[in-house]
Amino acid sequence: MEPAALMPAAFFGHGSPMNALEVNRYSAAWRAFGQSVPQPRAILVISAHWYVNVSAVTAMARPRTIHDFYGFPQPLFEVQYPAPGDPDLAQEVAELTQPTHVGLDHDSWGLDHGTWSVLVHAFPKADIPVIQLSIDTRKSLDEHLLLGARLAPLRSRGVLIIGSGNVVHNLRAIDWRASELGFAWNQRFDQSAQALMTERPGNVTKLQAHADFDLAVPTPDHFIPLLYVAGLADAAGRPTRVLIDGYALGSVSMTCYTLDARSPATLAEERPAAVIPDPSIVPAEDTNL
C-alpha cells in the first residue's frame, strides 16, 4: 500500500527511564513524532523489558503502569500512564502472527517503562489504547524479523507499531564521564545499523556478523525491538529514516527510526539524554535500564 494509506511505525532508543521526566533532544523528538502522525486507533509496543520465554500480548482492558527499575528517584516511581488496553486488538495480533502461537495475557503484565517512558512524551494524554507484545527469548533474530513483517496489516487498520529498546546497549561498559559520547565500537556498530535500516532493513539481522556485535549487543533484549520495525519496513518495500541519533555514557546508542512518517519540525532542544543513578547506590547492570 502507499505510505499515505498506512499508519507510520517507529523504533525509539529509550535509554534511561529518567527521560520520562526530562525535556531533552530525545524526548523532544518523541513528542514531535507523536504530534506529526495521524491519530492512531491504538498503539502496539514491542518493548525490550518484556523479555520472557513465551509469546504473549497484553489483553486486559486496563493495563497497569509497571515501574520495572531500581535505584531511581521517587518521582519516577510516581509516574502513571493510564492508557486503556484493547482486548480486540490483542486478538487480532494473535491471529496475524499464526502459525506462531501468541497467548492472551489478561492479568500478568501491563505497560513497562520501555513503553510509557516514551509515550508520556509522544502521546501525553494517555487516551489511545496501548497493548504490548512480548519478546520471546526462544526465537532467533530472523524469527523476530519475520514476526514484525506479519504485523504489517495492522498499519492499514490504524495501529501505530513501536519498537522500544536501544541499538547499542552495554551497561557493564558505561563511562560516567561520557554523557553524550559513544565509544568507537558503539559508533561503528550504530552507523552500520543506520546504513542497513535506511537502505536494506530486511538485512538488519546480518549485524550478527559485525565485529562489534558482542560489545554492542551483549544481550539481545534491547536490540530485538529494532527487528520488528525492520520487518515492517521490509514488508512495505521501503527503508526507515533516522528520527534522531546520538549516544549516552559511551556504551548506549539513542538512535531512533521512523517508517512512513513525515519529518517533524526542526528540534531546538539540545540537552543530552538522561543518565542513570549513581553507581555507588545501584550498579548500572542492576538498575534494569
**What does the pLDDT look like over 154-212, one tens digit per residue?**
999 999 999 999 999 999 999 988 888 999 999 999 999 999 999 999 999 999 999 99
From 69, 219, 228, select the one nearest 164 (Cα to Cα). Answer: 228
Question: Going by C-beta distance under 8 Å and a sequence separation of 6 or more, which residues neighbour residue 202?
Answer: 145, 230, 231, 233, 234
The distance of Cα 184 from the centroid of its chain, to the nearest Å, equals: 23
Domain of 108 in residue numbering reads as 3-286
Q: Answer yes or no: is pLDDT of 78 > 60.
A: yes
3-state secondary structure of 96: helix
4-28: per-residue pLDDT in tens? Answer: 689 999 999 999 999 999 999 999 9
Q: Indicate which CATH number applies to the domain containing 185.
A: 3.40.830.10
Give residue for cell 518495500: 237
Distance CA 176, CA 112 (A): 25
Distance CA 262, CA 246 (A): 20
Strand partners, 109: none
70 band by pLDDT with thresholds 50, 70 and 90: confident
pLDDT at 282: 66
Distance CA 148, CA 169 (A): 21
Element (H, E) at 244: strand 241-244
Nine-digit cell at 243? 528520527
Between 70-79, 101-110, 111-120, 126-135, the lowest mean confidence (pLDDT) is in 70-79
From 208, 162, 160, select the one nearest 38 (Cα to Cα). Answer: 160
pLDDT at 229: 98
Distance CA 206, CA 285 (A): 27
From 282, 156, 139, 258, select the one nearest 205 (Cα to Cα). Answer: 139
258-268: per-residue pLDDT in tens? Answer: 999 987 765 66
* pLDDT (mean) for 43-47: 98
Question: Going by C-beta distance under 8 Å and a sequence separation of 6 or more, which residues neighbour residue 5?
Answer: 156
How far CA 67 is from CA of 18, 22, 83, 109, in Å, comes to: 12, 17, 15, 11
Task: Give residue 284's identity as a one-letter amino acid code.
Answer: A
Question: Going by C-beta distance under 8 Å and a sequence separation of 6 or more, which residues neighbour residue 125?
Answer: none
Distance CA 257, CA 265 (A): 15
Give residue for cell 501525553: 124
42 band by pLDDT with thresholds 50, 70 and 90: very high
Please count the structural domains in the chain.
Answer: 1
Q: Answer yes or no: is pLDDT of 118 > 80.
A: yes
* pLDDT (mean) for 228-252: 97
Distance CA 115, CA 163 (A): 9
